[in-house]
């Protein structure tokens, strides 16, 4: 087939891929008339390979939905050892390119040219991955309706601006939830996404259990188990209010400024996440992200940032390591969070967080008294 665009080879993880040689800008990228390949999503595929290699029940039949160049599925075959690979894409050029990339990497797989939603209605898999250009909402009902129980589902969302509160009306229309633009906006957005998936699952008599959910670059990523909803407890959903001191507290849905509904449970299975380790093909960025996720996975929802606390106290922030050690020294757990470069997730109450901040801030740097808790 003669492609209407030039091709180039890229090496990603253990895979050698032919991709369209077209200009790319940083960030989410712009959709074009060619099979989409975004190199900034390498971290997504890095962690997906690590996750799928350790997936409960060892999936054998996996679908790369919206496959484009087939980068995700090819890496799953090579790095996670998946023997039965399926690929779906609407583009005829993509279908040809996927077959070329399978052959190039010594793999076999079924490539379907057509609509993912129709394919999901006809065929079941052990694990389905959906990585769309934009929101995943158009595909969730079809994926969950036809999902086996148990099975796995991977979801990527790149519409982070609505989920994080930049466009709250879009978030309300798309996810039926109220976001908040703040330092913790990415965690709120990820929890809104999980909460929405849980509600869609419930409508199809399914339940979900996150194995690992995280934010990176310009996307949210969720790996979850799909289970029989009649045998699962109700989804862990709720609403929060963020007060003027930056403290989150549970509230009723009728609260006018309530954030949510949100997934209030863990963002993954702690034992599973701690069992994960980088492979020889994981990028340095992927390895650093995984290390942070392992450390924070079982700490409570939401985090504080030293920048935000310094602003409220009209001072300078302490060094993050000193702040962490101050909390640990009095018996609390405290870890960096992957959501924010100066964020700390801890099980300490707010007054202890303030004490640690004041004790470790540069001498004389705080101009105000500690706010009341």
Nearest CA to 283 out of 94, 46, 31 is that of 46
* Euclidean distance between CA atoms 193 and 160, whole angstroms: 10
Task: Specify the DSSP class assigned to residue 78.
Answer: H
At 30 the pLDDT is 55
Task: Tell me if residue 90 falls in helix, strand or coil.
Answer: coil
Q: How many CB atoms lie within 10 A of CB 9?
A: 10
CATH number of the CATH domain containing 321: 3.30.56.70
Residue 1 lies in a domain: no
Please state whether the peptide bond connecting residue 150 to the residue before it is cis, i.e. omega within 30 degrees of 0.
yes
**Parts of the chain with a pLDDT under 70:** 1, 24-33, 364-373
Q: Are 187 and 161 in contact (CB under 8 A)?
A: no
- Are 329 and 243 contained in the same domain? no
Q: Is residue 224 domain-shared with residue 346, that is, in the same domain?
A: no
- Report pLDDT for 35: 81
| Domain limit, last residue, from 278, 296, 314 | 296
Instruction: Judge if 176 and 285 occupy the same domain.
Output: yes
Residue 219 DSSP SS3 = strand
Assess whether 90 and 231 both reside in one domain: yes
Among candidates 322, 330, 332, which has minimal Cα distance to 361? 322
Per the listing, tokens 């309530």 go with 258
Last residue of a domain, one of 262, 296, 330: 296
How far is 168 from 255, CA to CA, in rounded Å?
A: 17
Q: What is the pLDDT of residues 171-227, one digit of tens each?
A: 999 999 999 999 999 999 999 999 999 999 999 999 999 999 999 989 999 999 999
Same domain, yes or no: 291 and 311: no
Residue 9: CB partners within 8 Å, gap ≥ 6?
Answer: 16, 17, 18, 19
27-67 confidence digits (pLDDT tens): 555 556 678 898 989 999 999 999 999 999 999 999 999 99
Residue 213 domain-assigned (yes or no) = yes
Task: State residue 324's pLDDT score.
Answer: 98
- The alpha carbon dihedral of 163, 165, 166, 170 has a sign of positive
- Same structural domain for residues 290 and 347? no
Residue pair 327/321 in contact (Cβ under 8 Å)? The answer is: no
Q: Which of 357, 351, 320 is nearest to 366 (CA)?
A: 357
Task: Work out the burial of residue 242: count CB atoms within 10 Å of its CB; fewer than 13 is exposed, 13-18 middle, 19 or more buried.
Answer: middle
**E strands within the chain?**
7-12, 15-20, 61-65, 84-89, 110-113, 127-130, 151-157, 206-216, 219-228, 237-242, 248-251, 259-263, 304-305, 334-336, 343-346
pLDDT at position 373 is 38
Burial of 25 (0-12, 13-18, 19+ CB in 10 A): exposed
pLDDT at residue 195, rounded to an integer: 98
Regarding whether 173 and 57 lie in a shared domain, the answer is yes
d(CA 344, CA 296): 9
CATH number at residue 178: 3.40.50.150
- Structural domain for 71, as ranges: 7-296
């Amino acid at each position: 087939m003669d492609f209407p665009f030039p091709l180039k080879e890229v090496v990603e993880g253990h895979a050698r891929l032919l991709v369209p040689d077209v200009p790319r800008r940083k960030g989410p990228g712009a959709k074009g008339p060619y099979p989409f390949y975004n190199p900034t999503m390498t971290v997504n595929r890095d962690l997906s390979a690590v996750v799928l290699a350790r997936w409960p029940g060892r999936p054998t039949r996996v679908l790369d939905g919206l496959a484009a160049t087939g980068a995700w599925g090819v890496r799953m075959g090579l790095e996670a050892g998946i023997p039965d690979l399926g690929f779906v894409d609407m583009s005829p050029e993509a279908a040809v390119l996927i077959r070329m990339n399978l052959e190039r990497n010594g793999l076999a797989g079924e490539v379907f040219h057509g609509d993912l939603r129709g394919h999901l209605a006809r065929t079941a898999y052990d694990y389905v991955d959906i990585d769309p250009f934009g929101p995943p909402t158009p595909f969730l009902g079809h994926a969950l309706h036809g999902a086996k129980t148990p099975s796995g589902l991977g979801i990527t969302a790149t519409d982070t601006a609505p989920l994080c509160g930049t466009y709250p009306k879009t978030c309300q229309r798309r996810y039926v939830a109220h976001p908040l633009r703040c330092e913790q906006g990415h965690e709120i957005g990820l929890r809104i996404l999980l909460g929405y998936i849980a509600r869609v699952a419930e409508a199809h008599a399914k339940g979900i259990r996150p194995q690992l959910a995280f934010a990176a670059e310009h996307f949210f990523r969720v790996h979850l188990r799909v289970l029989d909803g009649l045998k699962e407890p109700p989804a862990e959903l709720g609403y929060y209010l963020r007060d003027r001191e930056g403290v989150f507290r549970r509230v009723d849905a009728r609260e006018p400024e309530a954030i949510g509904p949100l997934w209030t449970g863990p963002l993954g299975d702690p034992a599973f996440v701690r069992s994960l380790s980088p492979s020889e093909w994981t990028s340095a960025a992927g390895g650093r992200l995984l290390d942070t996720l392992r450390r924070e996975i079982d700490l409570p929802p939401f985090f504080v940032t030293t920048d935000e606390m310094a602003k409220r106290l009209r001072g300078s922030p302490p060094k993050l390591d000193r702040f962490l050690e101050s909390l640990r020294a009095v018996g609390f757990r405290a870890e960096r969070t992957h959501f924010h470069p100066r964020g700390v997730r801890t099980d300490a109450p707010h007054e202890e967080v303030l004490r640690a901040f004041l004790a470790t801030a540069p001498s004389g740097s705080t101009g105000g008294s500690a706010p009341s808790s």
